[in-house]
Structure 1
């Protein structure tokens, strides 16, 4: 199959539930989207909401943060876990990550005396007191940890979490409270064997999952493959070929793109629907920095001609744009990016800066779509006011928001 870049762009947006955006509804819509893409990425930075909430506000009509929280910590249909990085995925997927938990147990169990010595006390405290965070435990000895020295209590809790003994019971901000996993995950799921019997099967499953996380993906080095443990380039190539030979993924040639892209068999119907329709919804979307759509930014550059770098870790003096910048999509194109900041005390959404892409002209239809998008975004945040820092075009849009 050979398609144009515009066809590829529209299919990816369609697959990502952004074409049109904010059409899914409620917690069922959240589950539908996460089951489609596999997982969404969590990041602890909160500038205008956590990344996971920013992902969902662009897909779910009238999205409220409580919806995701309930699915995670009350309904237990979703779980915090390690996939691409720290992610949120369906609890039904627990068995597929068994080899990760076994790896963590092998690497960290009985490897650090300071941690091993307090595990029994932690288990006793949780049994007697219920869910606890590291701040509730008085084991303050510092130990070397993955990123930097940290308190032994935190390292112990995180070890128990990563090898599967504990689960995140709930959060206060980014502070995690842990409890025993077997109290919250059904025994049938908890004791189910890993469906992938060996690494070859796991690589095929993980690659197919990551293709579905975006919609189209190539067989080349990519940030989209992050977190697939043990996989080398030859493993990836072998797995791709077996997926192709078995008809689970299909090659798609896109004009002026050197590398072949691939699509899952189950997504072919959406591709055909996209190709057969000329409708372009008059809607705008604000995209999270770590949105699934952005997992391979080189691919986004090729297909959409949009160059994006997340600059939060760059020193201010060398940033091209801003600290926490959200891309903006209108219809089937990236038209702008902006730096927001939500002031919770004053309930004000501040637009620190706005950058248009080249050759973008603000039309009345675009103005209306952006006003609606801002209105929905403010509702998601709980904002009552918006400040646009004297950006002329946004002043006009702001007037429409307030009507």
Structure 2
């Protein structure tokens, strides 16, 4: 077994922000940069809520130089190098990863087998009519679905999608339009058998994937494990033991943390680069609420002294900050959070509320970098920034 690496909290923070391309200008550029980042972390999480862009867009705008929404749309629905599918909840990941999710598709195949008549009817509709959404199919019968009663046509489309028979052809805002998978997934991927001989192999692969999704992760209960169907703590322990035995992960002791962290052994070179990285100017950026960096909020609290909860689903009286609050990174720290106004058309990007973190040491260089960050963010939204709304 490899000996553990010891880092300070500051070094761990520096690695994570370098690893995610958040501390570097133009770490990732254009469509190739989007692909490179998503391949590195496995997936980015999709969420349809749109205040100043949707979560997956916010993840990319903070990392991809001059990111434009059309880049992601082309990779998903024209180039077909990325795909919308289930990973950590609804996610976006590389098309070449399709074979690794056979076990997920088999779980939904059970529903399809139990509703064969509806599935056959919907399949025939899509086969003959082409791309369809749920309102294009006249199936008014109600069935129980994941969130409650749903029209059979919608349940059938979503069940067939999760079982791998359909893919999302495109979206109109958040409305999904489906087509047959074999029309869009390359044959060598679509018909590929399960690459995992045992469920233990599958869990080990998934644990390794999630460590890479965050950069540094521990073997503790965490939202970072969401979406790994059926994996219990004992199976997660076995996966960690297997990965350590194979030297696919390396233990990292961080000073002041009770539990060890782990990184993929293939990322040791990135760790060396991060620790020697000394930018002439510290970079500021805005994080998405479901950013990969924030998947384990307990870990972020311990490393960054930053406590963050997404409060959109909390009653107003129970919110500590606001409805839609985003963290602000500067250098190797998280220094502030803010609540933006809802973006409507070309209205200026406006900060409704701003909160500095108690540990933030605010100087003119930080203020200049944060202002430049908001100018970039406004450009991503296709508008201008209301400078007067930022209390710097």
Q: State the TM-score bracket (shorter-chain normalisation).
A: over 0.9
CA distance in 1, matches of 2:270, 2:301: 22
2:52–2:381: 8 Å Cα contact kept in structure 1?
yes
1:22–1:57: 8 Å Cα contact kept in structure 2?
no
- Gaps of at least 5 residues in structure 2 are none
Equivalent runs, 1:279-294 vs 2, <5 Å: 279=279, 281-294=281-294
2:287–2:329: 8 Å Cα contact kept in structure 1?
yes
* Structure 2 counterpart of 1:392: 391
SS at structure 2 position matched to 1:109: helix
Alignment of 1:105 onto 2:116? no
1:42–1:50: 8 Å Cα contact kept in structure 2?
yes
Q: How far did residue 206 of structure 1 move? A: 0.3
1:348–1:387: 8 Å Cα contact kept in structure 2?
no
Q: How far did residue 103 of structure 1 move? A: 1.4
CA distance in 2, matches of 1:384, 1:267: 38
Q: Go from structure 1 to structure 2 and tell me whether the alpha carbon gap of 1:104 and 1:130 turns closer, same or farther (over 3 Å shift).
A: same
TM-score, length of structure 2 as denominator length: 0.96
Runs of 4+ in 1 over 3 A off after TM superposition: 276-281
CA distance in 1, matches of 2:387, 2:134: 39
* Structure 2 counterpart of 1:396: none
* Structure 2 counterpart of 1:74: 78
Q: How far did residue 104 of structure 1 move? A: 1.0
CA distance in 1, matches of 2:92, 2:38: 8
CA distance in 1, matches of 2:327, 2:163: 36
Q: How far did residue 125 of structure 1 move? A: 2.1
Q: Go from structure 1 to structure 2 and tell me whether the alpha carbon gap of 1:280 and 1:198 turns closer, same or farther (over 3 Å shift).
A: farther
CA distance in 2, matches of 1:179, 1:67: 22
Alignment of 1:167 onto 2:167? yes
Alignment of 1:29 onto 2:33? yes
Per-residue CA shift, 1:142-191, capped at 9, x if unaligned?
22110121111110100110000000000001100000000011101111
Q: How far did residue 136 of structure 1 move? A: 1.1
Number of residue pairs the alignment of both structures matches: 388
* Structure 2 counterpart of 1:229: 229
Alignment of 1:42 onto 2:53? no
Q: Go from structure 1 to structure 2 and tell me whether the alpha carbon gap of 1:278 and 1:349 turns closer, same or farther (over 3 Å shift).
A: closer
Q: How far did residue 124 of structure 1 move? A: 2.4
CA distance in 2, matches of 1:387, 1:173: 29
CA distance in 2, matches of 1:259, 1:388: 44
Equivalent runs, 1:14-163 vs 2, <5 Å: 14-106=18-110, 108-112=111-115, 116-163=116-163
Per-residue CA shift, 1:47-98, capped at 9, x if unaligned?
1111000000000010000100110000000001111110000000000001
SS at structure 1 position matched to 2:138: coil
Which is further off, 133-142 or 17-26? Answer: 17-26
* Structure 1 counterpart of 2:14: 10
TM-score, length of structure 1 as denominator length: 0.93
SS at structure 2 position matched to 1:266: helix
CA distance in 2, matches of 1:315, 1:243: 42
1:21–1:58: 8 Å Cα contact kept in structure 2?
no
What is the Cα-based RMSD across aligned positions, in Å? Answer: 1.5
2:374–2:385: 8 Å Cα contact kept in structure 1?
no
* Structure 2 counterpart of 1:397: none
SS at structure 2 position matched to 1:150: strand
Which is further off, 262-271 or 275-284? Answer: 275-284
2:167–2:180: 8 Å Cα contact kept in structure 1?
yes
Equivalent runs, 1:266-345 vs 2, <5 Å: 266-279=266-279, 281-345=281-345
- Gaps of at least 5 residues in structure 1 are 394-403
Which is further off, 127-136 or 272-281? Answer: 272-281
Q: How far did residue 323 of structure 1 move? A: 0.7
Per-residue CA shift, 1:91-146, capped at 9, x if unaligned?
0000000111011102x02324xxx4333332222222210000111212222110
2:375–2:384: 8 Å Cα contact kept in structure 1?
no
1:166–1:178: 8 Å Cα contact kept in structure 2?
yes
2:108–2:160: 8 Å Cα contact kept in structure 1?
no
